[in-house]
Chain A
Amino acid sequence: MTPPDPFPALDWTRADFPLLRRQIDGHPLTHLDSASTAPKPDCVIEAVCRFYRDHTANVHRGVHVLSEEATEAFERAREEVASFLNASPAEIIFTRNSTEGINLIAHSLDLKPHDEIILPALEHHSNFMPWRIHSRAVPIRLAPDGIPHYEDLDEHLSPQTRLVALAHVSNILGVVAPIEKWIDSAHRRGVPVLIDASQSASHVPLDVKALDCDFLVCSGHKLLGPSGVGVLYGKREKLEALSLYQVGGGMVKVHDDHQFTTQDLPWRFEAGTPNIEGVIGLGAAVAYLRRIGMNTVFRHSQALGARLVEQLRTLPGTVILADSAPLEQRIGLATFTLHAPGWGSESVARNLCDRHQILVSGGYHCAHILHHRLALEGTVRASTHVFNTPDEIDRLVAALREFTGG
């Protein structure tokens, strides 16, 4: 009997990632840490190098050939990202990373200290600290396995609520959140919604028009692209209503001592020389994912996630976060604690690298609030990407069995 939804084999992509040919102590590595930052395919490396080699020039400024080529490649990347998210290019602002996108919104919404921002208590620090600094963060409580009580949103929405912010996929849980419901509830009360797509963007098909979210952020480096480049999507009218963020060159039109007018979207929010090579590399990364097809990428990620959780459950005493979530809602990411007295999460991760050349994350993953609330002293996280195979999951679990027995 064939399974109804055959596992989409993406092994062929392995050849595209030179990092996977690296060896540690003479052994090939098993890369299970893409949620932290992902390896880059050749097409991204080549796009960045090509820019340096053949086109290096500033964008939107020069009138010579190189500057025109640079500008063209830069804006072409914007279109690529716009199509990836189903947005219009004017709604795509290039930032440094997700963190900067969220900070931009937190700054430019002109929040007051009593304004409230509702978010699940497990958010990454970058989707928590900006709200804490600029206003009052209102966390939604968590179930014992870490899943937020999403149904509590309505009772927290109040006239003070200025925004609802949540991760599409938490970097700890690896589970797709019910963002459509949240967007719907928040909009019914006239409250805009920001989606942190840092983890989901390279695993789950995204369509900002269908979702109807107001803002969305993601980072290039987890999307197979360069670091130091990220994306802020905003609905045009929402972006137009924001106050200015950073100011400087590239975002103004007229300038004498007394007056200036700002550029149109998206350039209004891109002051200074941008990370040109980063943006071009990100364009190449997104094009790569689109060529594979995000539906395929998602099915592959779901399948690896399910296998990861099912296998981890066979290790005695292992506690998996969001273990109660349906398997089909998972991406290829699981966070867990082992029953292995004397081994902290970081030493487990280090040992996996040193003994087995398996790369995972260990520690708090920038989510101290969740760890604090669930009374966890750090966790181990394994996460996949398009190039990972079921064998690698099995190899990880076999190595973990050395700690837990069973």
Chain B
Amino acid sequence: MQTLTPPPAAPVGERYLADCAMALDLALDQAPFYESWRPRDPGQTIPVDARYAALPVLTKRDLRAHMPRGFVPRPRDFQTGIATGEIELVSTSGTSEDRASIVWHQPWWDASEHSAASLYQGLDRVINGSQREAVLTTPLCAGTVCHIGELTQAERTLGRLLFLNQKADPNHWTPADKNRMLEELRLFEPDVLEADPAYLAILARYAAETGAPAPKPRFISLTYEFPSRVHYRQIRRLFPNTPILSSYGSTETGHVFTECEQGRFHQNAAFCRVDFQPFRNGRGAEHVGRIFISILNNPWMALVRFDVGDLIRLSTDPCPCGRTRGLTALAIEGRTRDLTFTVGGEAVTGGQVDRAIGDLEGLLAYQVEQPGPGTYRFRGVVEPAFEKQLFAEAEARLRGLYGDTARITTQRESAIGAEQSGKFRLTRTLFPWDTTDLFEPKGTVS
């Protein structure tokens, strides 16, 4: 693994601000996309946080329209980079409106991953560039779209990486699929099992139900989507003693937050800047807001204030683990598009819903839909033994969350499927709304 320049012995905060300034200057001066942003920059004499705050937000739509050339800073050149093998063009997962292509520079990604691993004790010793990783998420090639069919384990093993899944929706895994993946995991003995929590929950439940021996990864890293308590419970049952951490990032941004041993999320400050924009007073919970990510120290791609579409809850006190660099979040709160609204119109995050109902005993999967203002539908996949109490209890708790006059219906489901992107949505509205006025326009902190 090629590592990037080790940090010089400068105070942590200063180094961070210097990285932020450097990334911003490189973007504004050298990356064609940001030409139109330049007039908004108050200039280098102003503190760097204020300069960032003055700039617009970068959207997926911008990425789709201007990638790759708009984001490769001069003097680097996309065509040359591809020819020398330094970069690739990579499509992120997701449905078309969610999807973008980005310029992928493997050494930057590896360095970001390694640095993020230092935020969980012992993990950085494993993430050393030669770790064996098994990946359980959407398939490289979804079975229903792709016509090349099933791949052998050898074909799914890329160096030290094993890609386990081959199906677009884990609800369609057959017992044979699940047995195969469990068996491959046992034989491959990964250092890290990197899993979409919804997928791993289904696999873990199956293993626990059939009494299949548990694989023994050294760490389980949950990523790709919001981990629900429902997932944790099913995963824990199969892996009672394995360290499980949640890792937040994306193809566009690299690793952004890592959950530490104390369960809080620390910013991977050597490789990304995070700007936080809280809800307006009364429009959503206190200390919760959306985040804009700028990537640092990536010579091949300049992303500034990219709206990843996710929300976090800031920690207001220092984490007991002692890590102080960058932001500390109490929780990743889910996606902005997954917000629902109370009877009074206040935004409710996926995290809030999950904390309200995710621990209901016997609940295996759920989705809370909001068909219109004030009306809610709880869809649950439940263990039959718990059915009776569970729905009444879910209704009561959701009423507590959304308001006394909430009209709530409940529905038992056989399965709640993944979206086309292969990801699950725990909450969603069925009516259009937008983020205008939801967030504090100025109050971004970083």
Enumerate chain A interface residues (CB-CB to B < 8 A). 60-61, 63-65, 68-69, 71-72, 75-76, 78-79, 82-83, 85-90, 236, 252-255, 261, 263-265, 267, 290-291
Interface of A: prevailing SS: helix
> Which of B409, B419, B420 has the largest number of chain A CB atoms within 10 A?
B420
Contact of A71 among B172, B412, B415, B420 (CB under 8 A): B420
B324 lies within 8 A of chain A by Cβ: no
Bound Cα distance A87, B174 (Å): 14
State whether A83 and B415 are in contact (beta carbons under 8 Å apart), knowing that A68-B95, A90-B174 are contacts in the complex. Answer: yes
Instruction: Kindly supply a per-residue 1/0 record for chain B positions 407-422, scoring 1 wherever the CB is within 8 Å of any chain A CB and 0 otherwise.
Output: 0010111111101100
Interface stretch of the complex, out of B142-150, B180-188, B280-288, B348-356 = B142-150
B148 near A75: Cβ-Cβ < 8 Å:
no
| A-B pairs under 8 A by CB, number | 73
Pick the most buried of A78, A87, A264: most chain B CB atoms within 10 A of its CB: A264
Extra inter-chain contacts (15) besides given A72-B419, A79-B414, A83-B413, CB under 8 Å: A60-B144, A65-B96, A71-B420, A72-B95, A79-B413, A79-B415, A82-B414, A83-B412, A83-B415, A85-B414, A89-B415, A263-B143, A264-B143, A267-B144, A291-B409
Chain B residues, Cβ within 8 Å of A89: 171-172, 414-415, 417
Contact A82 B174 (CB under 8 A): no
B137-157 interface code vs A (CB 8 A; 1 in, 0 out):
000000111011110000000
A261–B151 alpha-carbon span in the complex (Å)? 12
Whether A253 and B420, one on each chain, are in contact in the complex, defined by CB atoms closer than 8 angstroms, is no
CB neighbours (8 Å) of B414 from chain A are 79, 82-83, 85-89
* Chain B residues positioned under 8 Å from A88 (CB to CB): 171, 414-415
6 contacts between A and B (CB under 8 A): A65-B95, A68-B95, A83-B411, A89-B172, A254-B147, A254-B148
- A79 partner residues in chain B, CB cutoff 8 A: 413-417
- Distance in Å: Cβ of B427 to nearest Cβ of chain A: 16
B412 to chain A, nearest CB (A): 7
Nearest A residue (CB) for B418: A75
Contact, CB under 8 Å: A64 / B96:
yes
Q: Which residues on the B side are within 8 Å of A90 (C-beta)?
A: 171-172, 174
Residues of B within 8 A of A (CB): 95-97, 143-145, 147-150, 167, 169, 171-172, 174, 409, 411-417, 419-420
Please determine whether A65 and B97 come into contact, CB atoms closer than 8 angstroms: yes
Q: Which residues of A contact B413 (CB under 8 A)?
A: 79, 83
User: For chain B, what secondary structure do more than half of its interface residues adopt (helix, strand, loop), or is it mixed?
Assistant: loop
> A286 to B97, alpha carbons, bound, how many Å?
29
B329 to chain A: closest CB distance in Å? 31
- With beta carbons under 8 angstroms apart, the residue of A61, A236, A265 that contacts B145 is A61
Q: Are A76 and B417 in contact (CB under 8 A)?
A: yes
User: Chain B contacts of A65 at CB under 8 A?
Assistant: 95-97
Q: Is the CB of A75 within 8 A of B417?
A: yes
- Of B172, B412, B416, the residue contacting A264 (CB under 8 A) is B172
Contact A261 B149 (CB under 8 A): yes
> Chain B: which residue is nearest A250 at the CB level?
B144
Nearest residue (CB) in A for B167 is: A264
Q: Which residues of A contact B171 (CB under 8 A)?
A: 88-90
A107 to B149, CA, bound (A): 27
> Cβ of B417: which chain A residues have Cβ within 8 Å of it?
75-76, 78-79, 89
B177 to A, closest residue via Cβ: A264
| A82 and B415 contact, Cβ closer than 8 Å, known pairs A63-B145, A253-B149, A261-B150 | yes
> Shortest Cβ distance from A389 into chain B, in angstroms?
25
The answer to whether A60 touches B145, judged by C-beta atoms less than 8 angstroms apart, is yes
Chain A residues with CB under 8 Å of B172's CB are 89-90, 264-265
Contacts of A61 in B (CB 8 A): 145
**Contact residues in B for A68 (Cβ distance below 8 Å):** 95-96, 420
Q: How far is the CA of A63 from the CA of B199 in the complex (A)?
A: 23
Report how far A69 CA is from B414 CA in the complex, Å.
Answer: 22
Q: Which of chain B's residues have a CB closer than 8 A to the CB of A252? A: 147
Instruction: Determine the distance from Cα of A89 to Cα of B145 in the docked complex, in whole angstroms.
Output: 18
- Cα A76 to Cα B420 with chains together (Å): 10
Q: State in angstroms the CA–CA spacing of A339 and B118 once bound together.
A: 90
Chain A nearest Cβ from B386, distance in angstroms: 16
The answer for the CA separation of A264 and B143 in the assembled complex, in Å, is 9
